[in-house]
Amino acid sequence: MTGMAILEVKDLSRHFGGLAAVNHVSVDVEDGEILGLIGPNGAGKSTMLNLIDGTLKVSSGTIAFRGHNITRYPPHRRAHLGIARVFQKNALFKGMTVLENVMAGSYLLTRHGPWGMIGHTYERVRRQPETLKHCMDLLEFVGLEDRTHELCVSLPHGSQRELCVAVALASDPALLLLDEPLTGMNAEETDSMIRIIKEVNATRGTTIIVVEHNVRAVLGLCARSVVLNYGQKLTEGTPRQCVADPAVIEAYLGTDHDVA
Amino acid sequence: MSKRGGIKTAIWVAILLIVVFMPQILRGNAYWITVIALLAINVLLVSSLRSITLINEISLGQVGFVVIGAYVHATLMMKGHVNFWASLIISALVAAFIALILAYPFLKVRGIYFSILTLLTAETFRLVAYYWTSMTGGSLGLTGVPGPGKVHIAGALVDFNKPGNYYYIAIGIVVIALLILYYLERAYISFPWRAIKDDNTLAGAVGINVIGYKMVNFVIAAFMAGLSGAVFASFQHNLSPDSTSRFGVTMSIYLLVYMVVGGKDYFVGPLLGTAVLTLLAEETRFMQEYQPMIIGAIAILVMIFMPMGLVGLPRQIKSSWRTRKLTTLAAAEDARRPATAAAGEATAVGAGAPATAPPAAAPSEKTGQG
Ligand SMILES: Nc1ncnc2c1ncn2[C@@H]1O[C@H](COP(=O)(O)OP(=O)(O)OP(=O)(O)O)[C@@H](O)[C@H]1O
Ligand SMILES: [Mg+2]
């Protein structure tokens, strides 16, 4: 509780018709931490990330990032401020190669003014040594340096997931939102992804919010976690405290009433 | 690679030469010169439609910007006596400006909703031209739209109002406009367009101003459509806002068919599609009433059997040939196998199994625990 908050979410709500997918949630995220966001299916975790990165508009409440009130910012402006996102489903630029995906991810570093966007050819920007190096370093970091010129859709699921992370990291974000990065991965891929997440946090100082069902991974990764249930914040604390909390156990396993 | 590039260049030079000397080849045959000039104008229009597909949207409203370009140009020249070239540019800019106003709400929606909005807008513009009689001549049409008039060139007085001479102006403008579109597709701006085409949401998440880039694309396309309308107005000399005219909904559908038949993934798709279908329509003029049916049938056949269009045909044939070769190879392999097999089979399985099985089994174990 000592660090400075990089992200302050206050009283955030989002309704879909009558359903409150996120219901008056307040969370402070400290600069440099890895925060776990956990909860049963449909708890509102993805919705929460969508509100933070601007993919969805909030119904009420405010979001502040590094002192800016970004509640009404469109997604690209939040990206400019340093928020990056990995979606729950593998979201990649399907028509592009692995390398091109990372280049698109580094758009914010390679973009030009209006005249530059028209004055430079794509070919030229693509061949700029700094850009290439930046992208290749990232691909090496996630272990995809041998597959740079393959179409991204031809990669197996686990590698696509790693590519998603590389794309998100390509803009050098200050806050990384990871939506279930380990889903569908085998043991080896899981370990490698956990290593990647830890290293990003340790060496780049990137603050990370990670939504994950794999409890062991959450215990290993996060110093602090927030539990959501039916859109509301159930509890908050170290992951160990959270999973031991009777309310959390009830939310995951259901009460006798629910089972019957 | 460079050999193929050489062949490509040769083809382009040949096409350009044929187009430039078309009036000589046709010996001044006014009818065919008209057909070719209109064809060129349509190629620009279809290319403007295709340029919107770069952001993964289908516009059914390019004709609406043609209406604006044509009538603004006609009005400027007839009532304002503005210089032909200035009027041409202003008309295209007006079309682009109107597109800019519409772009934000239009591009906030996607897919079929965008298409419907553009279609209705185009029809609205046509109806404005139809009912604003004092300005546009209404249903009677507007006659006497001038061309650039007589110009001194190398001592001779050339009348550019004549189709045979105006032909060069039309072709020249179309070629320049196409070169601009071609360049834009290679400029860096095409990269965010591609990203948006592949995944809107992810494009926004990596910092691309999705709506902004889409608006730029839409406005450029409207400029080109408006330009084609202005060039058309001075060529045809009269404009009619009839629903059966080139400003009607049918035309929008035709443009779409031209693009798809040519191949929407290729820059030359609009050129080939428009050329083939226009010339086909000319050849089947004697059964004009069946033409929509013929065009429709062709469109359906192309969509089913040549999803990449005419330009994509060589590649399609090559890839289907390759898969056939692979399947025959596989079949031959299968046929060979029982005879030679036991040893080979065993090693193949022996090598394959340990490598593939554990990773395949692991995820289910993992999710079972987690
Ligand atoms: N676009 C939407 N329209 C309507 N309802 C939605 C929408 N997105 C999410 N919901 C609903 O909001 C609730 C929360 O969904 P959300 O995707 O945030 O859950 P989650 O915690 O990410 O679950 P999971 O672990 O399954 O990914 C669910 O009941 C879901 O059906
Ligand atoms: Mg989710």
Three-state SS across A101-136?
HHHHHCHHHHCCCHHHHHHCEHHHHHCCHHHHHHHH
Q: A11: how many CB neighbours lie within 10 A of its CB?
A: 12
- Judged by DSSP in three states, A33 sits in coil
Q: Nearest 5°: phi and psi at B55? A: -105, 20
Residue of B276 and A239 predicted with greater confidence: B276
Tally of structural domains, chain B: 2
ipTM of the complex: 0.91
Same domain, B273 and B134: no
pLDDT reading at B278 higher than 50 = yes
Tell me whether residue B7 is in a domain: no
Residues B104 and B129 in one domain: yes
From A197, A199, A196, select the one nearest A210 (Cα to Cα). Answer: A197
* Residue B221 near residue B52 (C-beta atoms within 8 A): yes
d(CA A233, CA A94): 36
Clarify whether residues B43 and B148 are in a common domain: yes
Q: What is the pLDDT of residue A3?
A: 60
User: Distance between the two ends of chain B, CA-based, in angstroms?
Assistant: 52
Question: What phi and psi values does residue B352 have, to the nearest 5 degrees?
Answer: -75, -40
How many CA within 13 A on the CB side of residue B263?
18
In the DSSP assignment, the letter for residue B187 is B
One domain for residues B178 and B47: yes
Of the candidates B191, B205, B359, the beta carbon closest to that of A186 is on: B359
Lateral strand order in the sheet of A175-179: A83-86, A175-179, A207-211, A34-38, A224-229, A232-237
Range of the domain at B308: 256-328
pLDDT given at position B154: 73
On chain A, the residues whose CB falls within 8 A of the CB of B370 are 213-216
Position B2 scores a pLDDT of 66
DSSP A145: G
Nearest ligand 1 atom to the CA of A39 is 21
Q: Which pair of tokens denotes residue B293?
A: 């049916």
- Rg of the Cα atoms in chain A: 19
Q: Is the pLDDT of residue B18 over 90?
A: no
Does B206 contact A186 at a Cβ distance shorter than 8 Å?
no
- Percentage with pLDDT > 90 across chain B: 41
Residue B340 pLDDT > 80: no
The phi and psi torsions of A236 (rounded to 5 degrees) equal: -150, 140
Of A96 and B131, the one with more pLDDT? A96
For B249-258, what is the mean pLDDT?
A: 90
- Mean pLDDT lowest among B35-39, B85-89, B204-208: B35-39
Distance from CA of B337 to the nearest CA of A (A): 29
**Cα–Cα distance measured from residue B237 to residue A100, given in angstroms and rounded to the nearest whole number:** 49
CA neighbor of A206 nearest in space, from A56, A54, A86: A86
Q: How many CA atoms lie within 13 A of B252 on its CB side?
A: 23
Statement: residue B358 has pLDDT above 50: no
B165 and B79 together in one domain:
yes
Instruction: State how far the Cα of A12 lies from the Cα of A63, in Å rounded to an integer.
Output: 8
Q: Among A153-162, B17-26, B215-224, which stretch is predicted with the lowest mean pLDDT?
A: B17-26
Instruction: Quote the ligand 2 centre to A47 CA distance (angstroms).
Output: 7
Task: For residues B216 and B294, state if they share a domain.
Answer: no
Q: What is the mean pLDDT of residues B319-336?
A: 78
CA distance B90 to A154: 48
Residue B21 lies in a domain: no
Mean pLDDT of B82-96: 94
Which residues 6+ apart lie within 8 Å of B307 measured at CB?
B316
Percentage of the residues of chain B whose pLDDT score is greater than 70: 90
Any idea which of A244-258, B30-44, B251-265 has the lowest mean pLDDT?
A: A244-258
Which of B186, B197, B203 is the closest to A123 by Cβ?
B186
Tell me chain B's radius of gyration from C-alpha atoms: 26
Contacts of B365 in chain A (CB under 8 A): 187
Instruction: Mark whether B303 and B172 lie in a shared domain.
Output: no
| Same domain membership, residue B98 and residue B195 | yes
DSSP H/E element including A140: helix A129-142
The residue among B214, B247, B280 that closes a domain is B247
Q: What is the pTM of this model?
A: 0.86
Whether B178 and B228 map to the same domain: the answer is: yes
For the segment B348-361, the average pLDDT, to the nearest whole number, is: 37
Q: Which residue has the tokens 């402070």?
A: A28
Best mutation target among A41, A51, A76 (most B Cβ atoms within 10 Å) is A76
For A218, name the nearest residue in chain B, comparing CA atoms only.
B370
- Cα(B276)–Cα(A204) distance, integer angstroms: 58
pLDDT at A256: 52
| Structural domain includes residue B342 | no
Of the two residues B158 and B177, the one the predictor is more confident about is B177
Residue B181: its chain A contacts at CB < 8 A?
Answer: none
**DSSP assignment, residue A1?**
-
- Together in a domain, B113 and B203: yes
DSSP track, B51-79: HHHTTT---S-HHHHHHHHHHHHHHHHHT
- B186 in the same domain as B317: no
pLDDT tens, N- to C-terminus, chain A (260 residues): 446 789 999 999 999 988 999 999 999 999 999 999 988 888 899 999 999 999 999 999 999 999 899 999 999 999 999 999 999 998 999 999 999 999 999 999 888 888 888 888 888 888 888 889 999 999 999 999 899 899 999 999 989 999 999 999 999 999 999 999 998 888 888 999 999 999 999 999 999 999 988 888 888 889 899 988 888 888 888 878 887 777 777 777 765 544 43
Q: Which of A32-41, B77-86, B216-225, B336-345 has the lowest mean pLDDT?
A: B336-345
